[in-house]
Amino acid sequence: MTWQLASLLDRKGLKLGHYVGEFVTPGIGYILKEAGAEYVFFDMEHSGNSFDTINRGLRYFEAAGVPALVRVPSDSYHHIARALDIGAEAIVIPMVGTAEQAKSIVDKMKYTPKGSRGLGLGLGNDRYHMAPHAEAIRAANARTRFVALIETAEGIENVEKIAAVDGVDVLWVGHADLTASMGIAGQYDHPDYHRALERVLKAGRKHKRGLGRMVTDIAGGIAEAKQGWDLICYHGDAWLLQVAIRQGIDGIRAGVRAKGRKGAG
């Protein structure tokens, strides 16, 4: 049985993926695979995706060999444990603000003796493979990963302590929420925002954590990779489709109008 997510996150260097929150179709895993995506950021927080949708979507991504980071709506045990039980290998938790919160999340994610997650073995979390309990517990604890979303002023203030928590694997900046929390919503050129990013980079490097960001343009992705962000998520499904369709429609309209004006002259 191949588990790709842990080895992907442990690999040095740039890893590129894509956000899916809208189009959970049977072909989506293969579409992303053919496009070169190395992982998918699969969202429950800002989407209508239920656990049933996530359950089906994970099978699509597994079939295509695209590992998934699953963002749940909160740090509640109910959200974390259910997402893990249906097969999420990595859980993305929004609004991580303190080391204490991070430790509590690790406890909810890991089986004994590393945590207190309830046992539900041989299900989607184990790809329906049944193994002795001790073996299954060790394997699950080793492969299950925690992506902490740093997207509040509190999270920035405590980012080094969060990064130091055993069990935190990735620090991921939620840029929109972070600027809003800092009172500079959408001001991505603001010096306070850039100082905040530097704090995350510094903490991640010090504690050897992955560093994640979302980008919506190629130039931005290149720049962030050069800064040291190694998990870059290029654009989101609904937004990217809308942008591509608009470009095509606007381009055709503009071309027809230009031809009409030329003919009229």
- Reading the block at residue 161, the tokens are 């302590």
> Two tokens at 110?
């890991």
Give the active site residues.
Answer: 46
